[in-house]
Chain A
Amino acid sequence: MNRLRTWFLAPARTLNFVFFLVPLAIILAYSLMSRGIYGGVEMPWTFESYQRLFDPLYGGILMRSFAISLLSTVLCLVLGYPLALFIARSGARRNLYLNLVMLPFWTSFLVRTYAWMFLLRDTGLINTVLLAMGVIREPLPLLYNDGAVVLGLVYGYLPFMVLPLYTTLERLDKSLFEAAADLGARPFVAFVQVMLPLSMPGIRAGSILVFISCIGAYLTPDLLGGSKTIMIGNVVQNQFTGARDWPFGAACSLVLMALVMILLKLFLRKGEDQLL
Chain B
Amino acid sequence: MEAVLELRDVSKHYPGHRAVHRVSLAVEAGAFYSILGPSGCGKTSTLRMIAGFDEPTSGEILLRGNPIQNLRPYQRPINTVFQRYALFPHLTVRGNVEFGLKRRGETDYDAKVDEALEMVELTGKESRMPAQLSGGEQQRVALARSLVLTPEVLLLDEPLSALDPNLRKSVRLELKALQRRTGITFVFITHDQEEALSLSDRIAVMNKGEVEQIGTPHEIYLHPTTPFVAGFLGAVNWIDGGKAGVRPEATRIGRVAPEGDVRILQARVSHSVFLGNCVHVETVTALGGRIVAEVAADGYREGDAVYVWWRSADELRFGS
What residues of chain A have their CB less than 8 Å away from a CB belonging to chain B?
173, 175-176, 178-186, 189, 193-194, 197-198
Rounded to whole angstroms, the CA-CA distance of A194 and B86 in the bound complex is 11
Whether A183 lies near B79 (C-beta < 8 A) is: yes
Rounded to whole angstroms, the CA-CA distance of A189 and B103 in the bound complex is 8
Whether A182 lies near B74 (C-beta < 8 A) is: yes
Cβ contact of A176, chosen from B86, B100, B104, cutoff 8 A: B86
What chain A residues lie within 8 Å of B79 (beta carbons)?
182-183
What chain A residues lie within 8 Å of B53 (beta carbons)?
178, 181-182
Whether B72 lies near A181 (C-beta < 8 A) is: yes
Whether A183 lies near B99 (C-beta < 8 A) is: yes
Rounded to whole angstroms, the CA-CA distance of A178 and B54 in the bound complex is 11
Q: A175-B86, A194-B90 given. 4 additional CB < 8 A pairs?
A: A182-B78, A183-B74, A183-B79, A183-B149
What residues of chain B have their CB less than 8 Å away from a CB belonging to chain A?
51-53, 72-74, 78-80, 82, 84, 86-90, 99-100, 103-104, 145-146, 149
> 27 A-B pairs, CB-CB below 8 angstroms?
A173-B84, A173-B86, A176-B86, A178-B51, A178-B53, A178-B73, A178-B80, A181-B52, A181-B53, A181-B74, A182-B73, A182-B78, A182-B79, A183-B100, A183-B103, A183-B145, A183-B146, A183-B149, A184-B74, A184-B104, A184-B149, A186-B74, A189-B103, A194-B88, A194-B90, A197-B90, A198-B89
User: Which residue of chain A lies nearest to B76 when distances are taken between CB atoms in the complex?
Assistant: A182
User: Which residue of chain B lies nearest to A177 when distances are taken between CB atoms in the complex?
Assistant: B86
Rounded to whole angstroms, the CA-CA distance of A180 and B84 in the bound complex is 14
What chain B residues lie within 8 Å of A180 (beta carbons)?
88, 99
Cβ contact of B82, chosen from A178, A184, A198, cutoff 8 A: A178
Q: A184-B100, A184-B104 are in contact. Are A179 and B88 (CB under 8 A)?
A: yes
What chain B residues lie within 8 Å of A184 (beta carbons)?
74, 100, 103-104, 149
Name the residue in B51, B103, B104, B149 with the highest tally of chain A Cβ atoms < 10 Å from its Cβ: B103
A89 smallest CB distance to B (angstroms): 15
Q: A184-B104, A185-B103, A189-B103 are in contact. Are A179 and B86 (CB under 8 A)?
A: yes
User: Which residue of chain A lies nearest to B99 when distances are taken between CB atoms in the complex?
Assistant: A183
What chain B residues lie within 8 Å of A186 (beta carbons)?
74
Rounded to whole angstroms, the CA-CA distance of A175 and B51 in the bound complex is 12
B119 smallest CB distance to A (angstroms): 17
Cβ contact of A178, chosen from B86, B99, B104, cutoff 8 A: B86
Q: A184-B104, A186-B74, A197-B90 are in contact. Are A179 and B84 (CB under 8 A)?
A: no
Rounded to whole angstroms, the CA-CA distance of A176 and B80 in the bound complex is 12
Question: Which 8 pairs of residues, A with B, have the shortest CB-CB distance?
Answer: A184-B103, A183-B100, A179-B86, A175-B86, A181-B73, A197-B90, A182-B80, A184-B74
Rounded to whole angstroms, the CA-CA distance of A189 and B74 in the bound complex is 11
Rounded to whole angstroms, the CA-CA distance of A175 and B155 in the bound complex is 14
User: Which residue of chain B lies nearest to A189 when distances are taken between CB atoms in the complex?
Assistant: B103
What chain B residues lie within 8 Å of A189 (beta carbons)?
103
Q: A182-B73, A183-B145 are in contact. Are A175 and B103 (CB under 8 A)?
A: no
Cβ contact of B84, chosen from A175, A183, A193, A197, cutoff 8 A: A175
B47 smallest CB distance to A (angstroms): 11
Whether B100 lies near A198 (C-beta < 8 A) is: no
Name the residue in B51, B53, B86, B149 with the highest tally of chain A Cβ atoms < 10 Å from its Cβ: B86
What chain B residues lie within 8 Å of A185 (beta carbons)?
74, 99, 103
A133 smallest CB distance to B (angstroms): 44
What chain B residues lie within 8 Å of A198 (beta carbons)?
89-90
User: Which residue of chain A lies nearest to B79 when distances are taken between CB atoms in the complex?
Assistant: A182
A165 smallest CB distance to B (angstroms): 17
Rounded to whole angstroms, the CA-CA distance of A175 and B80 in the bound complex is 11
What chain A residues lie within 8 Å of B74 (beta carbons)?
181-186
Rounded to whole angstroms, the CA-CA distance of A138 and B52 in the bound complex is 55
What chain B residues lie within 8 Å of A193 (beta carbons)?
99
Rounded to whole angstroms, the CA-CA distance of A181 and B87 in the bound complex is 13
Rounded to whole angstroms, the CA-CA distance of A84 and B51 in the bound complex is 28
